[in-house]
Structure 1
Amino acid sequence: MDVLIVGGGVIGLLAASILGREGLSVGVLDKGPCGRESSWAGGGIVSPLYPWRYSSAVTALAHWSQDFYPQLGQQLLAETGVDPEVFVTGLYWLDLEDEAEALAWAAAQRRPLAPVDMAQVHAAVPPLGPGFQRAIYMAGVANVRNPRLTRALREALLRMPNVTLHESCEVRGFVRDGQRVTGVSTVEGELLADRVVLAAGAWSGELLGTLGVELPVEPVKGQMILFKCAEDFLPSMVLAKGRYAIPRRDGHVLVGSTLEHAGFDKTPTEEALESLKASAFELLPGLADAELVGHWAGLRPGSPEGIPFIGPVAGFDGLWLNCGHYRNGLVLAPASCRLLADLMLEREPIIDPAPYTPATRLG
């Protein structure tokens, strides 16, 4: 293989798609079915929850990805028949403590974020609960139906003769020839490649640790709940007090999410369920009469400032990283994977790669 990618979430699948389309032979490995960890568990808002609270490194990736998502969705639907449902609804933030900072950021970044009178908000979002005092709104913010996105990416890769998926194939460590990484060791034996990309989400730190390299990526648990409503119940995404509601086209509404440091435990808890339901009913009282159809947990790959690691690992020729996207893996995936491909193929990168470079951030 030219490239082996460890991790079959949205980052690994999209990186394989981009590199495969460039003619490279690519293998993707995942310890379970592809796309079933944090890529499946998240909400799919195509924006950081509070974009003004992040560094310019996250903003640069987010803006590129937001512009790219509509065509990615159309391309995958045309190729596979699976619609990732990139759904443009806009997003209302309610009663923000740092509203002034948000508006100043939007003015500097030229993003369409503006205050809205609450009467207008209630007219635009009829199920919104009472008691909220202020709102700002950004038009054009989309959400993607992330389980269908990963399914579409997987289907696209299965149609590419130069890409191989190794599912339910856990990677235990790396194969080395001196200081060069030449492949991975798995439960099924060794697989070799010219280059290895570590894109294993919350598990990336543990895997890199087998080489004696400390990668500050740790699991951060998040729990979500899902309701089934009428298709026109919620016309826009809403966010208040750190919790959000996301409408899907068919009437499903996601509400999330918790932030918990609980190691690799993905067990949903009754405490989180009650907390999420309370937030849901405060935001959208009508959800109290809706069917609760799901409650689950996933593990985000927490990293310093939420800035991912993208690029080669110093001292280990052939080893590359694309991991540590924290809460924004789905948002940042298109730009992150395009940047990785640009660096691997020695092309002009879409954005300055310096903020993500492992060489300056590890050790």
Structure 2
Amino acid sequence: MGHLTVVVGAGVVGLLSALRLAEVGRQVIILEMGQTGREASWAGGGIVSPLYPWRYSPAVTALAHWSQDFYPQLGRALAEQTGIDPQVYETGLYWLDLDDEDEALAWAQREGRPLRRVPMAQAMAAVPSLGEGFSRAIFMQGVANVRNPRLLQALRGALMQLPNVTLLEQCPVEGFLQQGSRVVGVRTAQGDMHAEQVVVAAGAWSAELLATLGLALPVKPMKGQMILFKCAEGFLPSMVLAKRRYAIPRRDGHILVGSTLEDVSFDKTPTEDALASLKATAVELLPGLADAEVVKHWAGLRPGSPDGVPYIGQVPGHEGLWLNCGHFRNGLVLAPASCQLLADLMLQRSPCVDPAPYAPAGRL
């Protein structure tokens, strides 16, 4: 069977982890409890930056910066390979009326990021659809958003082109196969599967899975709701963020507005309260949305983790078991670096970023 790796979870992190391993010839089986990429990866907004990057630890920043630099080439490569363009769209991002503007600017100077104060009149001129009620703006150029449902389709397409990849959907993993302390496969609804390595990339569901080994992984579901408007192309030339909410333009005039942060376990039913709240935010940010059609309203479950620092690496005392999970609000942002790092560690290559902050050792 060669060197077989089972990847649990077909979200952006599972798919990209599988792709990085399969590209170098590893035999990979991806197991997904539902449909490919229909959980948090599909539900997110796809801003290729943490919402407030200066509020995170250097561990998150390191993965974010590597990924931001890598996204344009990832988008091009996937479009060429599959004919599906993930639309990595560089619009820049305006933050309005921030409480911690000084910290943001100090962080940008320290990290060498292109973030600067902009006179409000200049922001209004750049984004004519903006509401009146704002007094201060900072802008970071070059920030992109990715059309995440297309990114997931493209990743799936790229994997399906490879002869050494199998994807099994509707195949929940119920536990692990062990030989002594070593993990040698998984128990699934469709039978046992043996593997040399198992990668858990199951997002908000990762902790439930590791609990079957008696491991306490502090990852839990955090619900977020979003709405999607259809507007004319060019209605919103840049992403905007104010009062903990954001608006993201797609190339074709769709605009996403998000999001809530709710601690309600695994319930992802969209609620009327959230819809009303998101609509109110949308109109406050962009008054023209008052007359726009709400195309969709949905919810997803983020894999909440302490300080948003993901778990990437081998689980000590459980040889053969690897993690790439717990990305909280930044799974789409951090996926390229996280999956590169995981592959580097599994293939014993020199790691793309310092792996120490993400190591499961001492964190479980």
The answer to whether TM tops 0.5 is: yes
Write the distance in 1 (CA, Å) between the matches of 2:36 and 2:21.
Answer: 17
- Which of 155, 159, 165 aligns to 2:167? It is 165
**2:250: which partner in 1?**
248
Write the distance in 1 (CA, Å) between the matches of 2:350 and 2:325.
Answer: 21
Q: Report the Cα offset of residue 33 of structure 1.
A: 1.0
Encode CA deviations 1:106-132: one digit per residue, 9 max, x unaligned: 000000000000111111001000010
Indicate the SS of the match to 2:18: helix
Q: For 2:212, give the aligned amino acid.
A: T
1:354 aligns with 2:356: yes
**2:260: which partner in 1?**
258
Q: Report the Cα offset of residue 360 of structure 1.
A: 2.1
Encode CA deviations 1:51-84: one digit per residue, 9 max, x unaligned: 0000000000000000000000000000000010
**1:293: which partner in 2?**
295
Write the distance in 2 (CA, Å) between the matches of 1:140 and 1:92.
Answer: 11
- Which of 196, 199, 205 aligns to 2:198? It is 196
Encode CA deviations 1:240-291: one digit per residue, 9 max, x unaligned: 0000000000000000000000000000000000000000000000001111
Q: For 1:295, give the aligned amino acid.
A: H
Write the distance in 1 (CA, Å) between the matches of 2:285 and 2:117.
Answer: 19
Indicate the SS of the match to 2:46: coil
**1:132: which partner in 2?**
134
1:1-363 to 2 correspondences below 5 Å: 2-362=4-364
Q: Report the Cα offset of residue 232 of structure 1.
A: 1.0
Write the distance in 1 (CA, Å) between the matches of 2:66 and 2:174.
Answer: 34
Q: For 1:177, give the aligned amino acid.
A: Q
Encode CA deviations 1:38-59: one digit per residue, 9 max, x unaligned: 0000000000000000000000
Encode CA deviations 1:132-170: one digit per residue, 9 max, x unaligned: 010000000000000000000001000000011011111
Indicate the SS of the match to 2:215: coil
Write the distance in 1 (CA, Å) between the matches of 2:246 and 2:304.
Answer: 20
Percent identity among equivalent residues? 71
Write the distance in 2 (CA, Å) between the matches of 1:34 and 1:178.
Answer: 32
Instruction: Using structure 1 for the length normalisation, give the TM-score.
Output: 0.99
Write the distance in 1 (CA, Å) between the matches of 2:68 and 2:193.
Answer: 35
Q: Report the Cα offset of residue 178 of structure 1.
A: 1.1
Q: How many correspondences in the alignment? A: 362
Indicate the SS of the match to 2:362: helix
Write the distance in 2 (CA, Å) between the matches of 1:179 and 1:361.
Answer: 19
Write the distance in 2 (CA, Å) between the matches of 1:252 and 1:175.
Answer: 45
Write the distance in 2 (CA, Å) between the matches of 1:44 and 1:326.
Answer: 13
Write the distance in 2 (CA, Å) between the matches of 1:96 and 1:333.
Answer: 27
Q: Which runs of 5+ in 1 are unaligned?
A: none
Write the distance in 2 (CA, Å) between the matches of 1:172 and 1:101.
Answer: 45
Write the distance in 2 (CA, Å) between the matches of 1:320 and 1:34.
Answer: 20
Write the distance in 1 (CA, Å) between the matches of 2:150 and 2:316.
Answer: 36
Write the distance in 2 (CA, Å) between the matches of 1:192 and 1:78.
Answer: 34
Instruction: Using structure 2 for the length normalisation, give the TM-score.
Output: 0.99
Q: For 2:304, give the aligned amino acid.
A: G
Encode CA deviations 1:217-239: one digit per residue, 9 max, x unaligned: 00000000000000111000000
Indicate the SS of the match to 2:351: coil
Indicate the SS of the match to 2:184: strand
Encode CA deviations 1:1-50: one digit per residue, 9 max, x unaligned: 52100000000000111100011000111001110000000000000000
Q: For 2:289, give the aligned amino acid.
A: L
Q: Report the Cα offset of residue 208 of structure 1.
A: 0.3
Write the distance in 2 (CA, Å) between the matches of 1:242 and 1:84.
Answer: 26
Write the distance in 2 (CA, Å) between the matches of 1:228 and 1:131.
Answer: 23
Write the distance in 2 (CA, Å) between the matches of 1:112 and 1:276.
Answer: 29
Write the distance in 2 (CA, Å) between the matches of 1:14 and 1:157.
Answer: 9
Write the distance in 2 (CA, Å) between the matches of 1:318 and 1:352.
Answer: 21
